[in-house]
Structure 1
Amino acid sequence: MRLYKSLALALILIAPIAGVPAIAQTVTAEAAMAATDRPPQHTERDAARKPEMAFLLPYIKAGDTVLDMGAGGGYTSMLMSTAVGDTGKVYVQNPASWVENYKMQPALDYLTSKRANVTVVVAPFEDIPAPAKPYDVIFAGMIYHDTFNDPKADVAKMNAALFKAIKPGGYFIITDHKAPDGSGLRDTNTTHRIDQQTVIDGVTKAGFKLVLDSDALSHPEDDRSLNVFDAKIRGKTDRMALVFQKP
């Protein structure tokens, strides 16, 4: 039985975005969110996450091989699983410490029990194994700042490994909470934000080209000073939405 028999997929032709080639036959956020096997802890987050998913999913098409970095319990992974379809593959990565400390295993077990096109990877960010087929898309959703918070981590090594593991023309997409301009890595483990230029500099140094700096997740009313988990600002932080491409 096909994985999405109960889901009427809304397929659309995406208009060209400045700096990015047109991407055809992708699944809308609404269609992906309509899958009936999604658990309540996912669906209750849809309203808050929809802008991010509407930004991401046009880059993912049927048959793609995708990596969801720092995927947590797989909220984005399940939506991407719908987008890549039966002929695609989603790798769902978390460091071992995250799986243990945040008790993620039941959620990951549920995900793999429902979606045959999902593979769970437990590995440090800089040691994510390359798939047999190079990635079409790599997504780091609100977690790129976290890659700097493990004192043993080597983010330059991570970026180089990701560049090697993605196909030419493939996309590395990053969303994250913006820190004040010029603050570098100062806030990654306090307010859980990161300076956008620091992200751009590190990723382009690995060989990627920045092709889109979008304001899709912008909240200019956020002065970027509060912890992203503060009730005053949670879900309404000023966020970067960056698309990099391997030449």
Structure 2
Amino acid sequence: MYDPSTLTDLIRFARIDPGSTVIDVYPGDGEWTRRFSDIVGPDGQVISFVPAEVAHFQTDPVGRMQTLAGEPGRENVQAVSADVVALDEATPAADVVWMHLFYHDLHTALIQARGATAARFNQAAYQRLKPGGRYIIVDHAAASGSGTHDAHSLHRIEPAAVRQEVEAAGFVLEAESAMLANSTDTHATKVFDPAIKGKTDRFVYRFVKP
């Protein structure tokens, strides 16, 4: 993950506060869900949203989030699983939709196998957010001009392509940050390669629903 200072900066950038309702999309091992749970407190809520497209993984992502939600002090966490584009139907109105290193997967065969597209997901996120709600996207950057071409092969996506897709759903780009940028990343290597794993050039966007 990130050092404590960067974690603090990311959460501040996302404007997650006590009392917020946050949807953590594809929570993985639940580290972000736990962190958000601590921040939003008893008056807030964290929806740990596991896309049905990945629910069959051997790591049992749904079961892991259900276990997390049952931990002492996690009464503000709810584990939910549904098709990724059914986000707006399966979750409550939210202040923040959080996507960490997952947006590019919307352009992969795995996620699209059940009919999902980035456009449909962005529309669902727009519907689910309250007016003024924030849509936070952190992902591995691909080379300029590559668009979505490297989403499957390298697990990267061009930031400009993400912005274009999200704005098409009605969102407005409110802020972007270079806090996770890495100028030494050539954008030509798969993100799981030991030479770059954990050190990829990453972009950070905050979109807002008007």
TM-score of the aligned structures, taking structure 2 as reference length: 0.89
Hey, what does 1:107 align to over in structure 2? 64
CA offset at residue 129 of structure 1?
A: 3.6
Hey, what does 2:11 align to over in structure 1? 57
- 5+ long unaligned stretches in structure 2: none
The 3-state SS of whatever aligns with 1:128 is helix
Answer with 151-160 or 224-233: which moved more. 151-160
Hey, what does 2:82 align to over in structure 1? 123
- Cα distance between partner residues in 2 of 1:132 and 1:159: 15
Aligned pair 1:236/2:199, yes or no? yes
Q: Is contact 2:53-2:84 (8 Å) kept? A: no
- Cα distance between partner residues in 1 of 2:119 and 2:6: 26
Aligned pair 1:94/2:50, yes or no? yes
- Cα distance between partner residues in 1 of 2:123 and 2:5: 29
The alignment yields a C-alpha RMSD, in angstroms, of: 1.7
Residue correspondence of structure 1 range 119-198 to structure 2 within 5 A: 119-130=78-89, 134-149=93-108, 150-151=111-112, 152-198=115-161
Structure 1 stretches of at least 4 aligned residues deviating more than 4 Å after TM superposition: 49-52, 130-133
**Per-residue CA shift, 1:34-73, capped at 9, x if unaligned?**
xxxxxxxxxxx4xx36465323322101111110111122
- Cα distance between partner residues in 2 of 1:52 and 1:147: 26
Aligned pair 1:201/2:137, yes or no? no
- Cα distance between partner residues in 2 of 1:140 and 1:86: 23
**Per-residue CA shift, 1:175-227, capped at 9, x if unaligned?**
00000011011111111000111100000111111011210110111011101
Q: Is contact 1:131-1:165 (8 Å) kept? A: no
Report the residue type matching 1:143 in the other structure. F
TM-score of the aligned structures, taking structure 1 as reference length: 0.76
Q: Is contact 2:181-2:202 (8 Å) kept? A: yes
- 5+ long unaligned stretches in structure 1: 1-44
- Aligned-pair identity (%): 33
- Cα distance between partner residues in 2 of 1:126 and 1:236: 30
